[in-house]
């Protein structure tokens, strides 16, 4: 019997790369994102059965209704990849838009927890399954410019670890995968005001991670023996490091 993977944020970037990777390995798919047209384009590349859920993950009521409509033969989800996330705004923190902060909290924290809570009971009932949360190195190595995004990714890491602790005695696995900068994704567009030229200029001179690199890590942890739970993976491009210590000269 084919396994089923449920991937959120699947319209582009890491989520779409995960969908391609799992489909290549014979998994049936449930993919979720706001943009139905992008997911329909993705489905043309996939080789296994795929069920599309077009919903804004912030809307927990609509999300729950859509999950109830999943075909019966796909409801036994083996792998949940929580990939949906956003980053918004840049510049001085005291001038940030509060609405941007609330939006990031709604998607990166509330959306993540709601989707997990809705899928988890069936995994526990079956005593099998794997929840993989896509965090960020920003959740471990804070950087200036977007504290709510950084904090939301710290939440992702701690939520994953706490969830694993609470699942003691079950065979449900939980993994937090925390990449550094990943190019060829649309995540940073929100931070850059949807300026694709600026985004391209940030990536041009660096050999950053590709979405497929992260997808390979996601798939790898699912392939390990059931007795093995990878708690966290912290990965970044060889060209990148995590030191961001800064100093400010004293006023004279």
DSSP 17-40: HHHHHHHHTT-EEEEEES-HHHHH
Secondary structure class of 79 (helix, strand, coil): strand
- Quote the pLDDT of residue 190: 63
Rounded mean pLDDT, 3-12: 97
Q: Into how many domains does the chain fold?
A: 1
Could you tell me which residue, 25 or 183, shows the higher pLDDT?
A: 25
Instruction: Give Cβ neighbours of residue 99 (< 8 Å, ≥ 6 apart).
Output: none
- Cα–Cα distance measured from residue 74 to residue 51, given in angstroms and rounded to the nearest whole number: 8
pLDDT bucket at 91, cuts 50 / 70 / 90: confident
Do the domain assignments include residue 252?
Answer: no
State the virtual CA torsion across 142, 115, 214, 169 in degrees, nearest 10: 90
> Quick check: 105 pLDDT over 80?
yes
**Angle, CA of 121, 127 and 132, to the nearest 5°:** 70
Residue 179 · residue 236 · CB < 8 Å:
yes
Do the domain assignments include residue 240?
Answer: no
pLDDT bucket at 12, cuts 50 / 70 / 90: very high
Q: What CATH number does residue 107 fall under?
A: 3.40.50.720
Q: 124 phi and psi, to 5 degrees?
A: -65, -40
Do the domain assignments include residue 242?
Answer: no
Do the domain assignments include residue 54?
Answer: yes
Do the domain assignments include residue 248?
Answer: no
- Quote the pLDDT of residue 24: 97
Instruction: Give Cβ neighbours of residue 89 (< 8 Å, ≥ 6 apart).
Output: 96, 97, 100, 101, 146, 190, 191
The pTM score is: 0.93
User: Going along 83-230, which residue ranges are E strands?
Assistant: 129-134, 172-179
Q: 222 phi and psi, to 5 degrees?
A: -80, -20
Do the domain assignments include residue 33?
Answer: yes
Q: What is the pLDDT of residues 177-229, one digit of tens each?
A: 999 999 888 776 666 667 677 777 778 888 999 999 999 999 999 999 999 99
Do the domain assignments include residue 247?
Answer: no
* Domain that residue 79 falls in: 4-235
- Residues annotated as catalytic are 149
Q: Report CA Rg, the chain.
A: 18
- DSSP assigned state of 209: B
State the virtual CA torsion across 15, 19, 21, 22 in degrees, nearest 10: 130
Do the domain assignments include residue 244?
Answer: no
Instruction: Look at residues 214, 110, 140, 221 and name the one whose alpha carbon lies nearest to residue 174.
Output: 221
- Cα–Cα distance measured from residue 252 to residue 184, given in angstroms and rounded to the nearest whole number: 44
CA 188 to chain CA centroid, nearest Å? 14
Residue 78 · residue 3 · CB < 8 Å:
yes
- Cα–Cα distance measured from residue 108 to residue 113, given in angstroms and rounded to the nearest whole number: 9
Q: What is the pLDDT of residues 147-177, one digit of tens each?
A: 999 999 999 999 999 999 999 999 999 999 9
Q: What is the pLDDT of residues 40-80, one digit of tens each?
A: 999 999 999 999 999 999 999 999 999 999 999 999 999 99
């Amino acid at each position: 019997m084919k396994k089923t993977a449920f991937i959120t944020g699947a319209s582009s970037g890491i989520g779409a790369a995960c969908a391609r990777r799992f489909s290549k390995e014979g998994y049936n798919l449930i993919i979720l994102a706001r943009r139905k047209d992008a997911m329909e384009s993705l489905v043309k590349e996939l080789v296994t059965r795929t069920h599309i859920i077009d919903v804004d993950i912030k809307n927990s009521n609509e999300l729950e209704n859509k999950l109830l409509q999943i075909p019966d033969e796909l409801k036994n989800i083996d792998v949940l990849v929580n990939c949906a996330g956003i980053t918004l705004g840049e510049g001085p923190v005291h001038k940030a838009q509060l609405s941007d902060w609330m939006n990031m909290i709604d998607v990166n924290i509330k959306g993540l927890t709601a989707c997990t809570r809705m899928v988890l009971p069936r995994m526990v009932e079956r005593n099998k399954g794997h929840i993989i949360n896509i965090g960020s190195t920003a959740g471990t190595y804070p950087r200036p410019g977007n504290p709510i995004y950084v904090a939301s990714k710290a939440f992702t890491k701690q939520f994953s670890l706490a969830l694993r602790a609470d699942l003691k005695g079950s065979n449900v696995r939980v993994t937090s995968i925390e990449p550094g900068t990943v190019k060829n994704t649309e995540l940073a567009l929100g931070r850059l005001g949807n300026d694709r030229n600026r985004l391209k200029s940030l990536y041009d001179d660096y050999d950053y991670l590709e979405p497929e690199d992260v997808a390979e890590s996601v798939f790898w942890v699912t392939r390990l023996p059931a007795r093995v739970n990878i708690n966290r993976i912290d990965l970044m491009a060889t060209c990148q490091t995590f030191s961001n210590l800064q100093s400010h000269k004293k006023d004279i």
